[in-house]
Structure 1
Amino acid sequence: MRATRHVALISAVVTVASLGLAGCSGAGGGSDSGSGQSINVLMVANPQMTDIQKLTADTFTKQTGITVNYTVLPENELRDKVTQDVATRAGQYDVATVGMYEVPIWAKNDWLHELGTYAKGDPGFGYDDLLKPMVTGLSGEDGKLYGVPFYGESSFLMYRKDIVAAKGLTMPERPTWQQVADLAAKLDGAEPGMKGICLRGLPGWGELFAPLTTVVNTFGGTWFTKDWQAQVNSPEFTQAVKFYVDLIRAHGEPGAAQAGFTECLNAMSQGKVAMWYDATSGAGSLEDSNVSKVAGKVGYVHAPVVKTKSAGWLWAWAWVMPKTTKKADAAAKFALWASSKDYEKLVGEKLGWSRVPSGKRASTYEIPEYRQAAAGFGDITLKAIQEVDPVNPGLQPRPTIGIQFVDIPEFADLGTKVSQEISSAIAGGTTVDKALANGQAMAEQVAKKYAK
C-alpha cells in the first residue's frame, strides 16, 4: 500500500490525509456542507482507484452535489506529488491516498486532520467493523484515526494452478523460498514465453522493498537493530538480497528492473508468468475475467518463509485529508463514502464482486456474493492480515513498528536510494555486495540521529 527525501519532505508525503477537523462532530458537520462544491483527489494508479473514478459521478456526486476531480499517478510519482503539495503547504489536494508508513509520521507532525470523529459520528459508516490491524496502522500516537482505509492487504504467493498441475508439481500451502525458487526453475518456459515468477525490481521504498524487506525479515535480517545499528550489509540481509536478485535474473520477468506492482499484475493476468509474490489486493483483478486471461486458474498460498513462521506484510491505501484543505466536510463525506460498506456493495453490483476493495472490514467476508467471487483468495487474505505482527516481524527486536518499512521519516529516502542500487544489480549494472555496501553507509548516517 504504500515518503520523503528529507525529514520534512518525507513526512509530507503522507500529509495529504485525514478527515475531520477538530471541533467537528460528524461526517455532515461543519460549515462547508459540500453541495455544489468540487474537491481535488490525488490517487495511486492501482485498479481499485480507477474503479472509483468510473463510479463517482453517477453515485456520490448525484447524492451530494460534490464534484470530484481525480488525479491518478503511479506510486512513486504519487509520493513525490503529495510530498511537494504538503511540504510547501500548497493545498492543491483535498484528499489523497497514502499508506500506513506515512500516516503516523504525518499525524505526529500535525499535518493531517483527525478523521475518527467523522467516522464515529456517522452511524452508517460502521467504525467498529474496521479490522483492528487497519485501525492501528492508520492511527497516530494519540490513538486517533488519521486515515480511512480504502483497502487493506497483506502479501501472498499467486500461482497458475493449471500449469503447476500439468507439470506434475505441488504447491505447499506455506512454501519456503527455496521451494518457490525450485518451482520457478521448473515452470520457466512451461508455455511459450512464460517466465517462472514475477517479483518487483522497480526502484522505490514502496515498490522493490515492499516484497524484498519481507524476504529480508524471513531470512533473519533487519534494517536496524533495536539500538539502531545499521544491518544493511549483514550476512542475513545480504543472503536475502542475493537470493531475490538471483531468482529474478534466473527466472523472473523480462525488464525486471522496471517492473513494479502494475507491471507484475499485467504479466500475471496476461499469462506471461507462472507465479507472482505480491499484495493480496492483486487477486481481485486476476479473478476478473473482463481484464484477466487467467481468471479461475490462479491458486493462492501464504507468503514464502525461511526462518520465520509467517512473512506477509501489512499495508492499507487510505484516504487522508491535509490540514491545508478548505473543504473539510466535503472531503470527509467523500472519504467516508469511498471507505463504506455501501461503496463495497456498489462495486460488487456494478463491476463484479471480485473487484471489491477488501481487506479493511470484517463484514466484507460475510457477504455471500463476495465469498463466492473470492472463494480462492478471500479467506487466506483475511488470515494473512490477521496473523501478521508489525511489532516483531523477524527474528530480533526492531526499533520501530513496521514490517516492510522502518517507521521513521528518513526511511523513504534511504529505502529508495538503496532500492536503486539493488535495481541496478538486477539489471547487471553492479553487484549485490557493492549495492549493499553503499546502502550500509547510507543507513549508518540515518542511524546516527537515533542511536543513543
Structure 2
Amino acid sequence: MSKLPFGDLSRRDLLKTTALVAGAVAAPAIVSRANAQSKFDWKRFKGEKIDVMMVKNPRSDLLQAAEKEFTALTGIEVSSEQIPEQQQRQKAMIEFTSGRPTFDVVLLALHVQKRLAYKGKWVDDLRPLLNNPEMTNPEFDLADFGEAGMNFATQSDGAITTIPHFVDFWMLYYNKEMFAQKGLEYPKSMDEIVTAAAKLHDPSKGVAGFVSRGLKNANIPVWTSWLLGQGLETIDPKTGKLNTDGPEAVWAADFYRKLNKEYAPPGTIGFNWNECQTTFAQGRAAMWLDGIGFATPLEDPTKSKIVGKVGYGVTPPGPKAHHSAIFCDGMGIAQASKKKGAAWYYIQWATNKENQLAMLKAGAGAPGRQSPFKNPEGVQSKTFAKDYFDCMANSGKIGRPGLPQIIPVTEFRDIFGVALTNTLSGADSLTELKKATETFKPVLEKSEQG
C-alpha cells in the first residue's frame, strides 16, 4: 500500500514547477492542470501509522489536538512527539546521520537546517508528489504560500524539500502604557529606538528601556536585525561574501552593545528569548526585539502583567534600508521513511488552509500561507489587537533572512555570538568582529567545497 504512484512525471514537468516557484508566481499551475483530472483519495493509505517529530510550541499543540480529525479523514494513525527546539535539532541530526530515523515527518528549522538537510539527503524533494494528481489534493493550492516561506523551502537547484508551516517575523514589542506616560510615539527609525529607550529606562523602578538576547549564539538575530537596517545580510546571498567586519557590521554591533549595556536589565548578557519574554511580560522592560511568535503569553493574564498594553511594531528602518529579519519552519518527509504516501497526506493536512487559519486565530504565530491574513476570521481576535495582525502582514512585505543560508549556521552563531557577547563586557566591536571573521572564514570555505 505504501508504493507511490508517481506516474509518468517527466523532467520537463519538474523544470516547469521549479521555474514557477522561483518566479514567485502561480507555482502550481502545472499542479492545478493535473488536478483537473485528479483521482485523489484521502483514504488511499487507510490503516497505516506514521510518526511525526515536532518542536515543542503552541503550533504543535494545535496540530496534536486535531490529530483525531486527520485520522477520521484518512484512516491514518499518527504518533507525534513534541521536543524542545535545541534537543529536537540534535535528535534530527543524530537520527538522520544514522540513516535510520524513527520518524516519517519532521519539522525543520529552515533558517538553520535548510542546506544541511539537503546536503545530507535527509528529506525528499516534494515536486514529484506535488505534480501527481493522485497524490496531491486539488485544494492544496501551493500558490497560497507566501514568497518568503517558499524561498526558504526551495533549494538552489529548485528542489522543494519542505512545505513552509510557520514564518517568524522579528519585530519590536513595546509597552503602550509606558510610552503614553512619557508622551512617546512608536520609533520611526532605529536611532529613535535608542532615544525612546533612554527616556523609558528607570532602574530605580526596576524598568529597563530595552531588552533583547545577550546570550552567545542566541544573540545573532539581534545583530543581524540591525545589520539589515544597513541593507546587508551577514553573508551576501549572491556572492557568498562575508559582510561581518565592515563599517556596517561594526555599526550594528555597536548598536547592539549600546542598547544591551546602557538600557537593558541586569544580567542581560545571559538572556535568551525566554528571559526576555518574562522580563517584558512582567512590565520590567519598555521594548523587546524578537519574533512575533512569542506573543501569546503576553496576552495571557495568568502569565503576563501587561495584558492589553502590548504594542506590536514593525522593526523600524535603519540608516539605509527597512527590513524585518525572518525565520521559517517547514515540514518534510524523511527519505528513509517507508510510509511516504501517508506522510505526504499528513503534511498536506497539517499545512492546509483550515489549520493555517487556526494557527493565526489562536495567536500561535504567522502561518506560511497568505490566505489566513485575507480571511476576516483570521484577523479578528479577542486576544490580539489589530496592530498584531498588521505587524505580521507588513513585516512579511519587507522580510529578509535573519541568518545566512549556509551549512555551518551553528558554527556561525557560536563564533559571532561570542564576539557580540564580548562587546557587552567592554571589548571593541571592530576587533571582535575581525577576529570572528578570520576564525569563521575557513569554516565557511570548507563547507562550500563540499
TM-score (norm 2): 0.79
Task: Provide the identity percentage.
Answer: 21
Instruction: Please point out which of 415, 424, 427 is paired with 1:417.
Output: 415
Residue 230 and residue 141 in structure 1: after superposition, are their counterparts in 2 closer, same or farther (change >3 A)? closer
Which structure: larger Rg? 2
Residue 216 and residue 344 in structure 1: after superposition, are their counterparts in 2 closer, same or farther (change >3 A)? closer
Q: Deviations over 1:402-443 (max 9, x none)?
A: x322222133312322213323443x3855455323302113
Contact 2:232–2:243 under 8 Å retained in 1: yes
Contact 1:41–1:71 under 8 Å retained in 2: yes
2:257 partner SS:
helix
Aligned equivalents of 2:96, 2:285: Cα separation in 1: 39
Partner of 1:440: 437
Contact 1:27–1:332 under 8 Å retained in 2: no
Residue 35 in 1 paired to residue 33 in 2? Answer: no
Query: Higher relative CO (CA 8 A, sep ≥ 6), structure 1 or 2?
Result: 1
How is 1:254-269 mapped onto 2 (pairs within 5 angstroms)? 254-269=266-281
Pairwise CA distance, 1:287: 3.8
2:379 partner SS:
helix
Partner of 2:106: 96
How is 1:174-193 mapped onto 2 (pairs within 5 angstroms)? 175-189=188-202, 192-193=205-206
Contact 2:76–2:342 under 8 Å retained in 1: no
Partner of 1:73: 84
Residue 128 and residue 27 in structure 1: after superposition, are their counterparts in 2 closer, same or farther (change >3 A)? farther
Instruction: Please point out which of 186, 190, 209 is paired with 1:196.
Output: 209
Partner of 1:5: none
Aligned equivalents of 1:34, 1:272: Cα separation in 2: 53
Residue 361 in 1 paired to residue 369 in 2? Answer: yes
Aligned equivalents of 1:239, 1:22: Cα separation in 2: 55
2:123 corresponds to which letter in structure 1?
L
1:98 partner SS:
strand
How is 1:34-183 mapped onto 2 (pairs within 5 angstroms)? 35=47, 37-43=49-55, 45-53=56-64, 55-63=65-73, 64-74=75-85, 76-101=86-111, 102-104=113-115, 106-107=117-118, 110-118=121-129, 121-172=136-187, 175-183=188-196
How is 1:342-381 mapped onto 2 (pairs within 5 angstroms)? 342-346=354-358, 353-373=361-381, 374=384, 375-381=386-392
Q: Deviations over 1:38-74 (max 9, x none)?
A: 414132x333234434x14543345444132313113
Partner of 1:214: 225
Instruction: Please point out which of 286, 294, 303 is paired with 1:274.
Output: 286
Pairwise CA distance, 1:163: 1.2
Pairwise CA distance, 1:241: 0.9
2:348 corresponds to which letter in structure 1?
L
The unaligned stretches of length 5 or more in structure 1 are 1-19, 391-402
Pairwise CA distance, 1:214: 2.1
Q: Deviations over 1:199-244 (max 9, x none)?
A: 122333xx32123112123246653466555443333212211220
Contact 1:364–1:370 under 8 Å retained in 2: yes
TM-score (norm 1): 0.78
2:417 corresponds to which letter in structure 1?
S
**Aligned residues: CA RMSD:** 3.3
Contact 2:210–2:263 under 8 Å retained in 1: yes
Residue 246 in 1 paired to residue 261 in 2? Answer: no
1:244 partner SS:
helix
Aligned equivalents of 2:240, 2:148: Cα separation in 1: 26
Q: Deviations over 1:159-202 (max 9, x none)?
A: 11111001111113xx3222111211222238943322221223
1:93 partner SS:
coil
2:433 corresponds to which letter in structure 1?
L
1:376 partner SS:
helix
2:183 corresponds to which letter in structure 1?
G
The unaligned stretches of length 5 or more in structure 2 are 10-37
Aligned equivalents of 1:182, 1:27: Cα separation in 2: 61
Pairwise CA distance, 1:27: 11
Contact 1:153–1:385 under 8 Å retained in 2: no
1:371 partner SS:
coil
Pairwise CA distance, 1:97: 2.0
Residue 289 and residue 319 in structure 1: after superposition, are their counterparts in 2 closer, same or farther (change >3 A)? farther
Aligned equivalents of 2:359, 2:443: Cα separation in 1: 43
Aligned equivalents of 1:282, 1:229: Cα separation in 2: 32
How is 1:292-311 mapped onto 2 (pairs within 5 angstroms)? 292-311=304-323
